[in-house]
């Protein structure tokens, strides 16, 4: 199992990934994770020289689809795929941690 930790600053996230022992993973899941489950299916979509990760949410977040791109720097230029409707970078409602506590289906006036 691998552990991935993201640290967010603006629209930049640092990620640290490394192998961890299964026993440590079980303890982390039992003591650090929220009881809610985020259900989603991830698709990889290559577009204009970049790799987009598209998450289609299910369960309590059914109807929400988020596309994400990893860039070398915040100033890197890129083309948006034609299906992108709204920029949500920096909107905390879309963070997985918040979707677990405040699922999309409970939002009023969904975007």
Per-residue model confidence as pLDDT tens digits over 34-85:
667 889 999 999 999 999 999 999 999 999 999 999 888 888 999 999 999 9
Q: Which two tokens stand for residue 26?
A: 């079980």
Give which of 89, 36, 100 is closest to 67, Cα–Cα: 89
Q: Give the per-residue pLDDT at 12.
A: 67
Query: pTM score, two decimals?
Result: 0.69
């Amino acid at each position: 199992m691998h552990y991935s930790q993201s640290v967010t600053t603006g629209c930049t996230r640092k990620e640290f990934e490394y192998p961890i022992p299964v026993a440590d993973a079980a303890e982390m899941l039992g003591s650090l994770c929220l009881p809610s489950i985020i259900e989603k299916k991830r698709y990889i979509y290559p577009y204009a020289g970049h790799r987009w990760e598209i998450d289609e949410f299910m369960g309590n977040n059914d109807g929400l689809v988020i596309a994400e791109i990893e860039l070398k720097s915040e100033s890197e230029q890129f083309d948006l795929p034609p299906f992108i409707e709204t920029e949500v970078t920096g909107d905390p409602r879309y963070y997985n941690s918040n979707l677990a506590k405040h699922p999309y289906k409970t939002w009023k006036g969904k975007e």
